Structure 1
Amino acid sequence: MSTKQASAPEDIETDILVVGAGVTGLTFAGLLAAAGVRAFTIAKHSGTAPAPRAHVTNQRTMEVFRAMGIEERVRGVSTPLPELGNGIICTSLTGMEIARYSCYGAGSRQLTDFATASPVEMVNSPQHVLERVLLAHALENGADIRYNNELIDIQQTDEGVIGRVRQRQTGAEYTVRARYAVGADGGRSLVADQAGIKFQGEQGLINMLTSWLEVDVTQYTAYRPACIYMMVQPGNAFWVGSGTLVAVKPYTEWLLNRQYNAGEEPDVSDDAIVAYARKALGIPDLKITVKNSSKWQVNNVYATKLSHGRIFLAGDSAHRHPPASGLGSNTCVQDAYNLAWKLGLVVSGKADARMLQSYSQERQPVAEQIVKHAIQTLYNFARVPQALGFKQGQSTEEGYKSLEDLFSDSLQAEQRRADLKEAMELQHRRSNALGLQLGHRYEHSDAIVYDGSPFPPYRRDPVLHYQPTTHPGAYLPHAWIEHKAKRISTLDILGFGQFGLLVGIGGDLFLEAAKTVSQELGVGLPVYKLGYRCPYDDVLGEWDDIREIGDRGALLIRPDRHIAWRTFDRPEEPTQALRSAFRQVLGL
């Protein structure tokens, strides 16, 4: 692995300055480079993530990777999550299993919903290996990425942004001048601070210690595969119980997350971590190698807006929340997917800078939603030790007596088991939140042409269930179709980074309209004919079930697969209607 590293730093001029090269920054670097946009990416760290950290990669993010052409590479370093499709709560790996629930599309309650919602499946992709894939992809496309280069100051003018950067190895400083900057510099974002962007919520709610362990627990886990084993033990009412064991590489590498009280500094020596792990896992003589340990805090914070002038925030710099529900790295990738194509069109002169306002309009509500959801799932899990009768300060004997009573034949125990079942049902909102993961609707955006109709009402819980729609602002629904004797998804029709117009059997008049509008605006707009016996053949009738438009209607799809405009029927003046819609999307 190599990235460019100037021995004597020279000032840089570019179009986009990306600050940070974690999941967010590397996704930006890859997207911008693939689109031919001049960008310069810096990170103060020496390289990609040294430890697993985030791991759940949901279907929407895998769809983004599919569009980028790296889906199979990501799968190659990951474990399909349905193979780890349980959440297990136990006193230890050798102790009593208290409850188990199916998740990540593996259970009979979720299997059909997850399978019909997307052409891809969720994977367990630890951050340290995912970042390597993203870095390789970016470099292959010509991205300029500099590690060990730290932003020390950033200012903006009417013409652009000016960043002051220090090479950490030499102490030498240089200036980067760019038209726009993206702050992808994490939870302690200097970019956010210097841009004066405000946040809502609370910092430092809970103190956590995460240890990356090499430990073979195959005999205790393989027969009941799970992505997360949550240990709950007497005398401990923390939201993670006595610890959560998160799969990195089944079944020999794991993260052990544990909580500690404020004012108490945990012993992070290898011996202390091994001793704690053996106690939490319930295996006194277990052979354990500590690969890495780090302390961190749970936050409940989101930016009130994601941009200020020429500066944008994305990823953890814009939303900081607990890892519960696995939304962190996914939202990072999806932020980048929303903004990168817009920046590309603006710096190339094909869209007006006003279009960039739509980034905050669309993604800030998502940031607020996922932060609130993640913190709620944290509180939901706290109900489990309560239902078990575990609390701080109780003796081991008191705790296990409460657990024994829970599974006894008494009237009080029956009600307690009902309480436990209710608490377990809430865990589905953590690990089976399909609607939250796939159902983002951009309801107030200048880059969407709304048709005056309301979004269709939800038929089921919108957190647990995804409801596809072609309403402007929604994501293009997936359906299996056939093209040139090959099964593909509707999501595979559009080329990477391109707009597209989907029409039906009666859509021929849109061919000339799209050609005219594309030539006028200088933005490619290929037309794809989708329907029964069309070039994109709806052989199963799946598209007909969800398209919500007629055979002579059309859908204008943005490069990020969100629907920008639709018409139920063919307008009297297709060219004028399409021209008006496309110009609005581009801010012209």
Structure 2
Amino acid sequence: MTTTIDTDVLVVGAGPCGLTASALLARYGVDAITVSRFPSTAHTPRAHITNQRAMEIFRDLGIESEVRAAGISNEQMGENVWATSFAGTELARARSWGTGTDRRSDYDGASPTSMTNIGQHKLEPILRAAAEKRGADIRFNTELVEIRQDDDHVYATVRDRETADTYQIRAKYAFGADGGRSTVVEQIGFHMDGETGLGFAVNVWLEADLTKYRAHRPGALFFTLQPGRDFWLGSGTYVTVEPWNEFVLIVMYDPAVEQIDVSEEAMLARARKTIGDDDVEITIKNISQWQINHVVAKEYRKGRVFIGGDAAHRHPPANGLGSNTSVQDANNIAWKLAMVVSGQADDSLLDSYSQERQPVGRQVVDRAMASVELLGKLTPAFGITAGQDEQQGWETIHEYFGDSPDSERKREAVQAVLDANDYQFNCHGVELGQRYASGGIVSTDPMPPYTRDPELYYHPTSTPGAVLPHAWLQHGDDRVSTLDLVDGNFTVITGIGGDDWLSAASEVAGELGIVIDGRKVGPREEYDDVFGEWKKASEIHDAGVLIVRPDRHVAWRATSMSDDPLGALRSVMASLTGRGVVEAGAGTEAKVGA
């Protein structure tokens, strides 16, 4: 007979999405099993750009400093360079990831964290350790063979790839984070929307000491443009893994017009040509292939099964949104699963996962594809085209630096393309600006209009559905962010004159059998608004209140004290948890968001 193991949640896949889910579920005390068909965590760099929203989640897990220490600092990420080769002529340079003088304050003011550049092969072991430290059950070399569900359970047949033994896992819910070739997606029947195979790429992980070419212009990306190749990224793009002696060379190609020899000898020759210095010793560590897709799932929930990460959204690496969005998917679903399996919330709360994250997935795949198209305009702007001979190509490049009217027009055209590529390299609004409308939000407040480009600029607001705005506070001798006030539970945040909200929160928490943390923020309060930053950012009066979810999205707010704070909070929490509906208190006008 096949052995059956019971658990509350089965997580399939142990990449950034699955491991984050595993760590968070363990933190919430959920009985969960994570399976991965691979022998261990990632063995190549793959994803690398890690934005502030993902870093905030790592901060919540207590691993922010570890991730930062293992990665490349934001200051060393900033200078994107386009050149004929490392040793050749520099064609253009641009500030990225908020390191420019015109964007630095935007990034610094938006979050207590900063971006970092860390290869997936370094990030995943940190996430794994964080999960296992909290007691997570993670089973590598364990392949999902079959998955099905009925009204009450999910049934998964898995195989131990070392012993060939099979057994069944019976779970209340399953989370498919098993990548772009997801077994969960295929067997459960999730519907995907978009196109695959829009382009193909080769990753060449290599070691080469390029300090003299990179240290004085430090950055995460180095693009090489040479005559004869104009497909999207030009002749090859170098992703920094270790400054400045370890990189991943990415070569994109269209198989309809070009076939690429992926042997080590051929890739070594390509690396030598794009480095441009034959004295540099090159060691190739790994060669892998992948394809460019533009796909998102139409729904992230089917019955008792959910999907996230590359299983749900597949797109080019432009904007660095892949693993970041995956980590945020896990952050959204984990606390909801924890509340439902513990009986603290009704199953209907889980509907909000798809309602909230599917639109984000759609935005991400569209933004990434548009960014690749924008980046592809730079090579022809320099006059580099496919099939041109070497002499013609180099003459075109030299002409770029000429003193003729045509040369000046070419430089202006290149600058216009570089400016447009801010939508890839300084896209702060896409990175941080997720705003939810779902059954997990209780609000009648419309979102405030954007005052600047919503993709380029993050617009913090305390309007329900948005992430709690960041502001620095003093707590004893420690400086803390308002984001640090939320510690895995629903949190009520109020100020001077808001004690009735805190009393009401305590009473409602007792009635529902859940934890609601109370925080009082204001001048000389426990959380001291010493700079007055919170008063400006909160958008509420001192005696107003915010209810913030465990994932730091604002669930509800009252801009001032209610006539009946207990009735108001009772109604809101009943709506959020799905455990009965109580009439809202006078003056609250609370209702579940669309």
Match of 2:295 among 276, 295, 301: 301
Match of 1:95 among 70, 88, 105: 88
Partner of 1:508: 499
Deviation at 1:453, TM superposition (A): 2.5
Deviation at 1:494, TM superposition (A): 2.0
Partner of 1:158: 151
Deviation at 1:9, TM superposition (A): 8.3
Partner of 1:255: 248
3-state SS, counterpart of residue 344 of structure 2: coil
Match of 1:455 among 447, 455, 469: 447
Match of 1:466 among 458, 461, 467: 458
3-state SS, counterpart of residue 60 of structure 2: helix
Partner of 1:388: 382
Match of 1:575 among 566, 569, 577: 566
3-state SS, counterpart of residue 146 of structure 2: strand
Matched, 1:539 2:530: yes
Distance of 1:26 and 1:511 partners within structure 2: 35
Partner of 1:397: 391
Partner of 2:25: 32
Q: Is the 8 A contact 2:22 2:131 kept in 1?
A: yes
Per-residue CA distance 1:21-68 (angstroms, 9 max, x = gap) = 111111111111111100011011111001000001101111110011
3-state SS, counterpart of residue 244 of structure 1: strand
Q: Is the 8 A contact 2:492 2:502 kept in 1?
A: no
Distance of 1:247 and 1:10 partners within structure 2: 46
Matched, 1:587 2:581: no
Deviation at 1:81, TM superposition (A): 2.1
Per-residue CA distance 1:397-426 (angstroms, 9 max, x = gap) = 111111222221222222221111110002
Match of 1:441 among 428, 435, 458: 435
Q: Is the 8 A contact 1:82 1:103 kept in 2?
A: no
3-state SS, counterpart of residue 152 of structure 1: strand
Partner of 1:560: 551
Per-residue CA distance 1:168-193 (angstroms, 9 max, x = gap) = 22222111100000000000111011
Deviation at 1:345, TM superposition (A): 0.4
Distance of 2:494 and 2:442 partners within structure 1: 17
Q: Is the 8 A contact 2:494 2:519 kept in 1?
A: yes
Between 1:263-272 and 1:432-441, the stretch displaced more is 263-272
Q: Is the 8 A contact 2:2 2:168 kept in 1?
A: no
Deviation at 1:383, TM superposition (A): 0.7
Deviation at 1:265, TM superposition (A): 4.8
Per-residue CA distance 1:429-470 (angstroms, 9 max, x = gap) = 11111111111100x2001001x2321111111111111100
Letter in 1 for 2:76: E
Match of 1:528 among 519, 522, 525: 519
3-state SS, counterpart of residue 377 of structure 2: helix
Match of 1:483 among 475, 488, 510: 475
Matched, 1:22 2:53: no
Per-residue CA distance 1:473-519 (angstroms, 9 max, x = gap) = 00001001111132111111122x11110001110111221111000
Deviation at 1:233, TM superposition (A): 0.8
Partner of 1:205: 198
Distance of 1:69 and 1:84 partners within structure 2: 23
Distance of 1:222 and 1:412 partners within structure 2: 33
Number of aligned pairs? 578
3-state SS, counterpart of residue 187 of structure 2: helix
Letter in 1 for 2:482: T
Distance of 2:456 and 2:81 partners within structure 1: 19
3-state SS, counterpart of residue 203 of structure 1: strand
Q: Is the 8 A contact 1:449 1:581 kept in 2?
A: yes
Q: Is the 8 A contact 2:426 2:456 kept in 1?
A: yes
Letter in 2 for 1:327: L
Deviation at 1:98, TM superposition (A): 0.9
Deviation at 1:284, TM superposition (A): 2.5
Partner of 1:4: none
Match of 2:109 among 113, 116, 119: 116
Deviation at 1:84, TM superposition (A): 2.3
Q: Is the 8 A contact 1:162 1:175 kept in 2?
A: yes
Distance of 1:174 and 1:265 partners within structure 2: 43
Matched, 1:286 2:286: no
Match of 1:221 among 206, 214, 224: 214
Deviation at 1:297, TM superposition (A): 0.3
Letter in 2 for 1:555: L
Distance of 1:419 and 1:272 partners within structure 2: 34
Between 1:288-297 and 1:166-175, the stretch displaced more is 166-175
3-state SS, counterpart of residue 318 of structure 2: coil
Between 1:328-337 and 1:481-490, the stretch displaced more is 481-490
Deviation at 1:262, TM superposition (A): 1.1
Distance of 1:265 and 1:379 partners within structure 2: 21
CA pair 581-98 structure 1, distance change in 2 beyond 3 A: same
User: TM-score, structure 2 length as denominator?
Assistant: 0.96
Per-residue CA distance 1:520-575 (angstroms, 9 max, x = gap) = 01111121111122111110011111111111110000000000000011111100
Distance of 1:10 and 1:81 partners within structure 2: 49
Distance of 1:295 and 1:342 partners within structure 2: 36
3-state SS, counterpart of residue 231 of structure 2: coil
User: TM-score, structure 1 length as denominator?
Assistant: 0.97
3-state SS, counterpart of residue 521 of structure 2: strand
3-state SS, counterpart of residue 14 of structure 1: strand
Distance of 2:186 and 2:494 partners within structure 1: 46
Q: Mapping of 1:53-202 within 5 angstroms?
A: 53-202=46-195
Partner of 1:270: 264
Partner of 2:590: none
Letter in 2 for 1:211: V
3-state SS, counterpart of residue 158 of structure 1: coil
Q: Is the 8 A contact 1:183 1:317 kept in 2?
A: yes
3-state SS, counterpart of residue 364 of structure 2: helix
Letter in 1 for 2:563: E
Distance of 2:27 and 2:117 partners within structure 1: 26
Partner of 2:582: none
Distance of 2:421 and 2:537 partners within structure 1: 30
Q: Is the 8 A contact 1:439 1:474 kept in 2?
A: yes
Deviation at 1:83, TM superposition (A): 1.9
Per-residue CA distance 1:338-386 (angstroms, 9 max, x = gap) = 0000000000000000000000000000000000000000000111011
| Structure 2 spans left out of the alignment, 5+ residues | 580-594
Letter in 2 for 1:552: A
Match of 2:42 among 12, 28, 49: 49
Q: Mapping of 1:328-407 within 5 angstroms?
A: 328-407=322-401
Match of 1:519 among 489, 510, 516: 510
Q: Is the 8 A contact 1:82 1:104 kept in 2?
A: no
Q: Is the 8 A contact 1:82 1:105 kept in 2?
A: no
Deviation at 1:261, TM superposition (A): 3.1
| Structure 1 spans left out of the alignment, 5+ residues | 1-7
Distance of 1:138 and 1:38 partners within structure 2: 13
Distance of 2:48 and 2:3 partners within structure 1: 37
3-state SS, counterpart of residue 206 of structure 1: strand
Q: Is the 8 A contact 2:198 2:291 kept in 1?
A: yes
Q: Is the 8 A contact 2:155 2:170 kept in 1?
A: yes
Q: Is the 8 A contact 2:19 2:128 kept in 1?
A: yes
Deviation at 1:89, TM superposition (A): 0.8
Letter in 1 for 2:7: T
Q: Is the 8 A contact 1:81 1:227 kept in 2?
A: no
3-state SS, counterpart of residue 516 of structure 2: coil
Between 1:254-263 and 1:232-241, the stretch displaced more is 254-263
